Copies of this chain bind each other. A is one copy, B any other.
Amino acid sequence: MLSRPDVAVVGAGPVGLAIAWRCASRGLRVVVHDPAPGSSASHVAAGMLAPVAEAYFGEHELTGLLTASAARWPAFAAELTAAAGVDVGYRTEGTLMVGLTADDLAEARRLWAYQQGLGLPVTPLRPSALRDREPALAPRVRGGALAATDHQVNPRRLVPALRTAAERAGATLVPAAVRRLSDVDARVTVVAAGCGAAALTGLPVRPVKGQVLRLRAPGGGAPGFRHVIRGYADGEHVYLVPRDSGEVVVGATVEERADTDVSAGAVLRLLRAAVDLLPELAEYDLVETLAGLRPGTPDNAPILGPLPGRPGVLAATGHHRHGIVLTPLTADLIADLVVTGKADPMLAPFTPDRFAPAATADPAGTDADGRSGAFAPEEEHTWN
């Protein structure tokens, strides 16, 4: 580098690359550090943009963020496609939420009622209307509802598109790992390193394992269904995401583990639930079994904003199951923060300082410099 960059982004997943693109587009000199762009959680992710179907009890603020980011997706996808010349597989058929048995349907209906109570667009469907929309659903499926605004994108197209857009806007990719933040020289450093953020910052980001399958429709055609299908099948939660290419993503386990082994039991449960909901999937090829690690946080919400006691360091991590849907809004909010120095009020519930000792009632976690022990990096004990 001839001179010190304005922004160094650590991590070239969708979030890091989108931040780099947005910052570079606004005239900043941007460097992105990653030895293997797009090789972590996004490589495994299904790409559901599902603020409605993913609106869970007790996550009201997160739901607001997901909804706001999903609303930016149509323009974001169009702008990205124009900038990169790559179709990112943005599809708007919507999501069907279904229950296989009466018990499954009862559980689903509890959640739909909650989602409707938030004013989210959930439309219960009569069984005949459900089958009109997706004739391939198993006759056993007892009922369902439509989340018409829950769309999808293909993460494996998204990453190369974002990389191209960022590079065309002037960002530079450095294909090397950052071991310590003190090794990064920039006016602002953005830690968008997913699970790697824990070691770099001490933030409470932990790996949450997810196992996912990829099937392929036989004969080279498109899958025999168009909607994203999410459902409960004998108590097992599963989603099915169809792509134009013939691919169907089947996911996903949620496990408090840090390995990326694929287990026979997980594959069995996913396949059983998938075939129970959509019998024709039994005839599909099984082309990939894979496990990835989501960057989870104590409250399942992302960590966005200035790192306490670390001037010039911003976090954009902890996106857990929501990294793809949150990419546009995260990028916009972080780029604004970099450019203006002021945090958008939308960031308030998600800033790193919510995990500071005052919030966790652990005064022993504060060291002699007044920095939070919760933020003490695992591999870095000096700070410039």
Q: List A residues at the B interface (Cβ < 8 Å).
A: 213, 215, 218, 261-265, 267-268, 271-272, 274-275, 281-287, 289
Contacts and interface: CB of A to CB of B under 8 A. Distances in A.
Given A286-B289, A289-B286, A289-B289, A271 B267 contact: yes
Contacts of A262: 285-287
Contacts of A287: 262
Contacts of A213: 264
A264 B285 contact: yes
A272 B268 contact: yes
Given A264-B271, A272-B272, 18 more contacts: A213-B264, A215-B264, A218-B261, A262-B287, A263-B284, A263-B285, A263-B286, A264-B281, A264-B282, A264-B285, A265-B281, A265-B282, A267-B286, A268-B271, A268-B272, A268-B275, A271-B271, A286-B289
A376 B218 CA distance: 33
Contacts of A281: 264-265
A282 B263 CA distance: 7
Contacts of A265: 275, 281-283
A268 B261 CA distance: 18
Contacts of A282: 263-265, 268
Q: Which of A213, A267, A275 has the most CB of B within 10 A?
A: A267
Contacts of A272: 268, 272
24 contacts: A215-B264, A218-B261, A261-B285, A262-B285, A263-B282, A263-B284, A263-B285, A263-B286, A264-B271, A264-B275, A264-B283, A264-B284, A264-B285, A265-B275, A265-B282, A265-B283, A267-B271, A267-B286, A268-B272, A268-B275, A271-B271, A272-B272, A286-B289, A289-B289
